[in-house]
Structure 1
Amino acid sequence: MDDYSTKENDKVESPIALLSHDLLTTSYDVTRAIFRHLPIRSIDSCSLVCQSWTHISRLIKSHRHTIHTLTYPSDPLSPTVTCSNLLHDFDQFISLYINNNLWSLPTFALVVSTNILASKGFYSSANSPPLIKHSRRIHSETGNLTRINERFDISQALIKHLNKSCKVLMIAADGIIASTDNNQSYEIESNDAIGILFLPHFPPDVLGIYPFEIPSNTQIASDMSRSELHRFLGSVPDDVQIRCVIFFFVQRQSYAVDCIKKLLEYYPSQVAIIGGFVDKINYDDRQIHTTKISYDACGIVITGDKKRLHIGEILLENHIRTREQIRNKLNELKSLDNNHCLSFAIQISCIARGSNYYNDEQNVECSEFRKLFPNTPLIGVFGNGELGHDYLPNYNQTITKQQTGKNLFRGYSTVFSLISLHM
């Protein structure tokens, strides 16, 4: 048994008993066995003790590839749970999660938020302890120092908890699909809530993540080359094939939509495309930008070797209205999933396909997905228009014929995309 084998979507490696062939003959072996059961922040702390522990910590971290999802608040549909807008409460929630549950170092975070919460953001409180270095204070009439409440958007509040290499893409929509760390999924249409998907670093032949933004009024040249398209969409290397692109648009009449035509030109039957029209987008690549630029679209390019990365996509069209129909359609993705792979999934739903669509029953579509894929993290949004198609490659790499760009745009539908990683 490999001491550092990836746990299949497990968020915490349980302290299992040692196997008969686990021979702990040295203090190094004992330390290594203990480190295997520590969350990532504890390992970081241990790495500072001595050179030997630094080496073990680096080895442990390099072999961990755990995908995490969480929701804030942790039970977003509970009638007794309210979503606090105090920065102190959010800080406590995220800090506790990272310290106790985070198993791999994230390099990318996809954040989805309901519009109301994204507009509110988080506020420091005069009654809470100082949390940030730049909190402003003024003298009140009595001469006492009083802190002014400051507003932080969701990305600002989250980023200070993450390692500096972790990029953050934030999407705000009328409703979201979010999952807890134990893979309980929710379709959140009216409550304030945030969903986060944390992806660690993977070997490039397994999974490459290339976030991108498209500035407003950017025109896509008709003669744009494949290399130029790759640079435009996240600076994907020329010798790497694009396998999937996830788009989030804020303008229907955006020039950014034209890049889909170029994708289909260079990848006519070899790329899965999924996306939706949302209300707000924000990408933070952790670089300092001196000028503020408006963006019409953002997204993620996914790459990886076809033998290691399997991608499938199904479309729930307007006529699919029952659980049985949903289940039958989702079953078409099962060929991509097995007990020896990691996976995560994206759900883009029309805002009209919520509980009203299913006679006031909540979580219909995400719960059917969860029955078939109990260990797969799921995240998504309810949009004002969807982008997707049926894309079902099998293990022989025979791919369903790609649809035209025009037919990728949908209404009153839901699109599920399953990304399966074979380590």
Structure 2
Amino acid sequence: MEELGAPSSAASSAPADSKAGYVLSNVAEVVERILTFVPTKALLRAARVSRLWRNCARRVLKTQQQMSWLSAFGTSRYEEHVLLGAMEEGLETKYLLPLTALLMVDSEHFNGHNGSYRHKKARKCQDEEESDAMDRLRRLLPKSCDILCIVTPGIVLTPTGLPCTTPKEFMEGEAGFSLLFPAMDGVQIRPFHFCKNSLNQESLEEAGLTGNPDLKVVLLFGYHAYKSGAAVFLNKLLEPLARSNVLIAGGHVEKACIQQRDCCSPGSFGVVGLTLSGSRIQGASVLLDQDVSSPKAAEVTIRRLKAASIPERNTVGFMFACVARGHNHYNNEHNVEADTFHKIFPSVPLFGFFGNGEIGCDRIVKENYTLSETDANGLQHGYTTVMSLVHLG
């Protein structure tokens, strides 16, 4: 995706030989109004026409503060994950300039283990595939966009389009989504990454996880958590968060693809995530424990989110579930938890994954009010689902 650049000398020297040409060359109010109907990638190209158009484009971009998303499922026609192709097409029609992109893709097809459309003899090692995918994402997204890609066994997504579309659980098959966060007044979203070599008090403060009075939500994902030392490492990170008045949600995934990873050795464990800070952010989460095993019980638990009275406009739902749940947990009934969430919150899009462990608890974060009492051990679970709402103001 292009950045705002200097005006095109050829375009700016074009003669204004008509009334329409004069207006489009001189009347900022008209140009700005027209540019509000132009998708962002085309808008960035239009900004090269003249200095007037560039300034109008900048003002239009500042008004595009709603989170958006692209999602995909099925079989790709190309030698890459289906989400990457969907992003190439979908970004042409988006009305925002993303500063942060959170992607989640299924591990089976992202790693290229299956799929007859891939040339098996030409397969590369997984590290090279991940590097190729990140290079592709860097070409698709703006240079200034922070990219965090999570690879996990199963995916929960809302199809691209309106929030009222029913979300889907994919425990098998190729699926993925990308949440696109633009600049938003009163909201700051920052990625973080820690391994055993980089986790210390200073790095926690730099990431905004400690000493940050505006911190409201932490999305946190551990990778290679089965390795020796990973549990102690994660506790060291969760202890200060458990004592804070913030919403914590996430889980354990197979791997994380990030832009900078120079501090840790290949194959080592670590944690990645996003911090969401700002006075306008609100959130709530509930834990569906192992005993919640029927649609009725799931609805009773998820309705507690409704009781938190989180605004539903400009809000996103997150579902982080154990791979042992899904239809295996609900007597072979599919999409139970996603359908239940949609029944209660029909206008809120839902995203997440099926992973190898869950992080979160019952918690409400609203303005100066927080409801939660738990320690670091109380944030880690198995055979559960963490269901959350995050309101972006």
TM-score normalised by the shorter chain: which range applies?
0.7 to 0.9
The gaps in structure 1 that reach 5 residues or longer are 1-25, 77-81, 128-147
Q: 1:51 to 1:117 in 2, by over 3 A?
A: same
Out of 142, 148, 169, which is 1:187 matched to?
Answer: 169
Q: Is it true that 1:69 corresponds to 2:57 in the alignment? A: no
Q: Which residue of 1 aligns with 2:8?
A: none
The aligned runs of 1:16-55 (5 Å cut-off) are 27-55=27-55
Whole-angstrom distance in 2 between the partners of 1:208 and 1:71 = 24
Out of 229, 248, 251, which is 2:225 matched to?
Answer: 251
Q: Which residue of 1 aligns with 2:253?
A: 278
Deviations, residues 236-258 of structure 1 (Å, cap 9, x unaligned): 68554432222212214414313
Q: Which amino acid aligns with 1:328?
A: V
Q: Which residue of 2 aligns with 1:415?
A: 386
Out of 104, 111, 114, which is 1:112 matched to?
Answer: 104
Out of 177, 197, 206, which is 2:179 matched to?
Answer: 197
Q: Which amino acid aligns with 2:142?
A: N
| Number of residue pairs matched by the alignment | 353
Q: 1:57 to 1:192 in 2, by over 3 A?
A: same
Q: Which residue of 2 aligns with 1:302?
A: 275
Q: Which amino acid aligns with 1:322?
A: S
1:89 Cα offset (Å)? 7.4
Q: Which residue of 2 aligns with 1:176?
A: 155
Q: Which residue of 2 aligns with 1:4?
A: none
Q: Which residue of 1 aligns with 2:343?
A: 371
Whole-angstrom distance in 2 between the partners of 1:235 and 1:214 = 13
Query: What is the SS of the residue equivalent to 1:331?
Result: helix
- 2:81 touches 2:109 (CA, 8 Å); kept in 1? no
Q: Is it true that 1:354 corresponds to 2:326 in the alignment? A: yes
Q: Is it true that 1:98 corresponds to 2:98 in the alignment? A: no
1:390 Cα offset (Å)? 0.2
1:103 Cα offset (Å)? 1.2
Whole-angstrom distance in 2 between the partners of 1:49 and 1:301 = 36
The gaps in structure 2 that reach 5 residues or longer are 1-25
The aligned runs of 1:380-391 (5 Å cut-off) are 380-391=352-363
- 1:85 touches 1:122 (CA, 8 Å); kept in 2? no
1:114 Cα offset (Å)? 1.1
Out of 399, 405, 408, which is 2:370 matched to?
Answer: 399
- 1:68 touches 1:377 (CA, 8 Å); kept in 2? no
- 1:114 touches 1:175 (CA, 8 Å); kept in 2? yes
- 2:153 touches 2:355 (CA, 8 Å); kept in 1? yes
Question: Which deviates more from structure 2 when the two are superposed, residues 397-406 or residues 90-99?
Answer: 90-99
Whole-angstrom distance in 2 between the partners of 1:35 and 1:243 = 34
Query: What is the SS of the residue equivalent to 2:218?
Result: strand
1:88 Cα offset (Å)? 10
Deviations, residues 22-47 of structure 1 (Å, cap 9, x unaligned): xxxx8433322221122111211111
Query: What is the SS of the residue equivalent to 2:60?
Result: helix
Q: Which residue of 1 aligns with 2:138?
A: 159
Q: Which residue of 2 aligns with 1:317?
A: 289
Whole-angstrom distance in 2 between the partners of 1:219 and 1:99 = 38
- 1:219 touches 1:256 (CA, 8 Å); kept in 2? no
Whole-angstrom distance in 1 between the partners of 2:168 and 2:189 = 25
Whole-angstrom distance in 2 between the partners of 1:382 and 1:360 = 16
Whole-angstrom distance in 2 between the partners of 1:88 and 1:344 = 24
Of all paired residues, the percent bearing the same amino acid is: 22
Deviations, residues 7-30 of structure 1 (Å, cap 9, x unaligned): xxxxxxxxxxxxxxxxxxx84333
Q: Is it true that 1:345 corresponds to 2:317 in the alignment? A: yes
Whole-angstrom distance in 1 between the partners of 2:205 and 2:181 = 22
Deviations, residues 190-244 of structure 1 (Å, cap 9, x unaligned): 10222211111223xx3222211222x44866xx4xx55222xx35685544322
- 1:209 touches 1:300 (CA, 8 Å); kept in 2? no
Out of 261, 279, 298, which is 1:326 matched to?
Answer: 298
- 1:336 touches 1:420 (CA, 8 Å); kept in 2? no
- 2:283 touches 2:310 (CA, 8 Å); kept in 1? no
- 1:111 touches 1:197 (CA, 8 Å); kept in 2? yes
Q: Which amino acid aligns with 2:377?
A: K
Question: Which deviates more from structure 2 when the two are superposed, residues 176-185 or residues 85-94?
Answer: 85-94
Whole-angstrom distance in 2 between the partners of 1:391 and 1:212 = 22
Whole-angstrom distance in 2 between the partners of 1:119 and 1:160 = 20
Whole-angstrom distance in 2 between the partners of 1:349 and 1:263 = 24
Whole-angstrom distance in 2 between the partners of 1:149 and 1:414 = 35
Query: What is the SS of the residue equivalent to 1:320?
Result: coil
Query: What is the SS of the residue equivalent to 1:348?
Result: strand
Q: Which residue of 1 aligns with 2:215?
A: 242
Q: Which amino acid aligns with 1:408?
A: L
Whole-angstrom distance in 2 between the partners of 1:91 and 1:300 = 21
1:304 Cα offset (Å)? 2.6
